[in-house]
Amino acid sequence: AVHVPLSLEAQAEARLLMFSHTNLLSPAIGDPISVPTQDMLLGLYILTVGNNQGIYGNRYHPYYSKYNIFSCKKPSFYSYDDALGAHWQKRIELDSPLWLRWGVGLRIITSVDREAPIEVQYESLGIFHEIYEHYRIGKNEVGEILSI
């Protein structure tokens, strides 16, 4: 048999029951339907363990004293090889937060042409910095990329 909601109240109840936030448990047997995977839980654990500053914990580079909002300095590396060498020398762990300098030649995997910068900062010499959520791009007056 198929239940067809005819009255307005039955249609409203059917629409309400079809929302995803109400279908966390199976109505038939009570088992969970929406369960986070193990990699999601591990990622959430790594992002939140030891970070008592919430979402602002990794926001600013430690060398900018104007924005220095955390007490401990995070290590800074110039390449992937430097970070890997530090891990081999037991100076950092796999889950250690760190700063990695991006060269101009490295690609950013994002849709920059569709993403608008959060802020644009101009300097007196014509250089400007486009500030995005996770990175900053420095450009000259012609628009050539100077730093990422």
Q: Are 37 and 45 in contact (CB under 8 A)?
A: no
Any domain includes 55: no
pTM strictly above 0.85? no
95 belongs to a structural domain? no
Asked whether residue 34 is assigned to any structural domain, the reply reads no
User: What is the torsion angle, in degrees rounded to the nearest 10, for the CA atoms of residue 6, residue 9, residue 15 and residue 21?
Assistant: -150
How would you class 136 by CB atoms within 10 Å of its CB: exposed for 0-12, middle for 13-18, buried for 19 or more?
middle
- Both structure tokens of 22: 């109400």
In a domain, 96, yes or no: no
pLDDT of 130 higher than 70? yes
pLDDT, one tens digit per residue, over 5-49 is 788 888 888 777 777 666 677 777 878 877 888 888 887 877 777
**Does residue 26 belong to any structural domain of this protein?**
no
Domain that holds residue 118: 105-148
Say if 71 falls within a structural domain: no
Average pLDDT, stretch 138-147? 84
What integer pLDDT is reported at residue 51 of this predicted model?
A: 56
Average pLDDT taken over every residue of the chain: 74
Q: How many structural domains are present in the chain?
A: 1
Q: Is residue 97 part of a domain?
A: no
Q: Is residue 127 part of a domain?
A: yes
